Amino acid sequence: MDVSIPKSLENHKWYIKRDKKAINGQGPFTTQELTYYVQRGRLKPHNCISLDLESWKEVTAVFPHILSSTHVLKTLQQNFAYTAQCCNHVKRHRQRCILKN
């Protein structure tokens, strides 16, 4: 699976929250590094991704399979100036992430 990375996202920094079973570290990762992990199946649905984005559409075009598998609220699509950050205890409490203004 080859992913074409838009120029505007080449230097974007990504922060990923993970559990013990996933890859180590919190980032920041470049879009290219994130793509590398996704292509090798090392980011799973329970991995929470923290996004600080200028353009929601650009990222959903590049990583629709990532975003659809993370706990990112649909309200972010209406206001992509927000930062979507996964709750620390999503898995434990089985609840969706909360977007804070």
Give the pLDDT confidence of 29-66 residue by residue, as tens digits.
Answer: 676 776 676 666 665 444 445 444 444 455 556 665 55
Which pLDDT belongs to residue 75?
36
- Stated as kind and residue range, the H or E segment containing 31 is helix 31-39
Higher-scoring residue by pLDDT: 57, 88: 57
Please tell me the predicted confidence (pLDDT) of residue 30. Answer: 72
**Domain count within the chain:** 1
Q: How many CB atoms lie within 10 A of CB 79?
A: 10
Domain, as residue range, for 14: 7-93
Q: Per the domain annotation, does 79 fall within a domain?
A: yes
The pTM of this model reads 0.38
In this structure, is residue 101 part of a structural domain? no
* Better pLDDT: 79 or 38: 38
Residue among 24, 70, 65 at smallest CA distance from 47 = 70
Q: Give first-to-last CA distance, the chain, whole Å.
A: 36
Does residue 1 belong to any structural domain of this protein?
no
Mean pLDDT estimate for the chain = 50
Question: Is residue 99 a part of any domain in this protein?
Answer: no
CB 83 within 8 A of CB 59: no
* DSSP letter, residue 55: -
H or E element in which residue 77 lies: helix 75-78
Domain-embedded: residue 37: yes
Residue 98 lies in a domain: no
What pLDDT is attached to residue 45? 42
Who wins on pLDDT, 14 or 20? 14
Tell me what pLDDT residue 62 has. 60
Is residue 100, in this structure, part of any structural domain at all? no
